Amino acid sequence: MKQLRFSIANNLSALHDEILAAVPSTRPVVNGQGENVAVMLVQAKGNDISLTVPDDVDEAAIQAVVDAHDASVVQRDLKAEARATGATKLKALGLTDDEIAALQG
């Protein structure tokens, strides 16, 4: 494993997802017990980013992702979207807003 360092404004969660999408060798692998094992660690303190990646990773591909990263992009809140979709389905079944809120916690 090796460390790559960058200094840019960032949305670390989004950057992590962007790297996973663009650089297959950074994606988790399945071990002998069928568990997903991370092969990349992403950390940041302010604008200073540290990536721990496999030795054979395509550094140019990661650099391209970092260069294209837009820190102002807000990630979708998938949990909120799922709750809203679920609420719509529950309303169609005749549940009240109070009942839906109680179910969704």
Q: Are residues 35 and 68 in the same domain?
A: yes
Q: Are residues 66 and 84 in the same domain?
A: no
pLDDT tens-place string over residues 9-59: 999 989 999 999 999 999 998 888 888 889 999 999 999 999 999 999 999
Residues whose CB falls within 8 Å of the CB of residue 54, separated by 6 or more in sequence, listed in order: 1, 2, 25, 26, 39, 40
Q: Are residues 70 and 80 in the same domain?
A: no
Range of the domain at 87: 76-105
Q: Are residues 38 and 59 in the same domain?
A: yes
Q: Which of 14, 19, 22, 16 is nearest to 75 (CA)?
A: 14
Q: Are residues 64 and 80 in the same domain?
A: no
Q: Are residues 13 and 48 in the same domain?
A: yes
Q: Are residues 22 and 37 in the same domain?
A: yes
Whole-model pTM: value is 0.68
